[in-house]
Amino acid sequence: SPSAAPVTPPVAAPEQRDLEAHVGTYWLSRLGIVALIIGIAYLITYHFGELGVLARVGAGYLLSAGLGAFGLWLARRHPLFGRIVFGGGLALAYFVTYALHFIPAVRVIDSEVLALVLLAGFVVAIVTIAHRMQSETVAGIALFLGLHTGMLSDITAFTLLSTTLLAAGALFFLVRNRWVIVPLSSLVAVYSTHVVWAVRTGHMAPGAPGDDRLL
């Protein structure tokens, strides 16, 4: 009798494998670093007030430096994951710089002008690093998370000016590198932050109904 043909297990279609790999490596990793940075930002905002002034600043920058160094180390084996983590480290350092003036638990700078100069310098540093690395991932993650800083604060001229600085960085990448994802993710970050502002009672259009504030 003829021998039975070997049974081969079903193989997933190439399109399905590509989709799973894209979701796993591209989107879930980004969502993970977003959640991590937001969690650390809340930790700094609500628990660093118990520390001394130098300890607040030092701990914040130490966390961001450690995350950035881990991202560079990880990039040797997993370039995509490493760049995502490194971009998160840059974003966390931006948040700490922002908090030096605006977040009560970390505030050590009273001058708004000095705070804006420091933020502008840090945005230039983010743009320079991402441009030299030619990494759209680093630029997108750092600017996207930096723009979410406003969720932890009220709406003031300082908040809007800091947002404008980050938006200028995104515009640079659009004009110079033709990176479309960076400005698009910046738009998402800006409008999601505005939605958070809108649903807070009294923070936008005080006295107006909730639907009007959201609109």
How high is the mean pLDDT of the chain?
79
> What are the backbone angles phi and psi of residue 104, rounded to the nearest 5°?
-55, -35
Average pLDDT over residues 9-35: 59
Residue closest to 60 by CA, chosen among 42, 44, 74, 45 = 44
Percentage of the chain lying above the pLDDT 70 cut: 77
Mean pLDDT over residues 158-170, rounded? Answer: 85
Asked if residue 86 has pLDDT above 60, the reply is: yes
pLDDT digits (tens, 9 = 90+) for 32-51: 777 788 777 777 777 766 77
The residue-averaged pLDDT of 186-205 equals: 74
Q: Residue 195 — very low, low, confident or very high, per pLDDT cuts 50/70/90?
A: confident
Q: Is the pLDDT of residue 109 over 80?
A: yes
Q: Does the pLDDT at position 20 exceed 60?
A: no
Nearest to 95 by CA among 36, 25, 12: 36
* Greatest extent of the chain over all pairs of C-alpha atoms, in Å: 91
Task: Say if CB 141 and CB 129 are below 8 A apart.
Answer: no
Higher pLDDT residue, 198 or 93? 93
67, 75 Cβ separation under 8 angstroms? no
pLDDT exceeds cutoff 60 at 14: no
Could you tell me the pLDDT band of residue 19, with boundaries at 50, 70 and 90? very low
pLDDT tens, residue by residue, 171-181 = 899 888 888 88
Q: What is the pLDDT of residues 51-63, one digit of tens each?
A: 777 787 888 899 9
Name the percent of the chain lying above pLDDT 90: 17
Query: Distance between CA 139 and CA 14 in Å, rounded?
Result: 30
Whether pTM > 0.95 for this model: the answer is no
pLDDT in tens, 114-163: 988 998 999 999 999 999 999 988 888 888 888 877 676 667 777 778 88
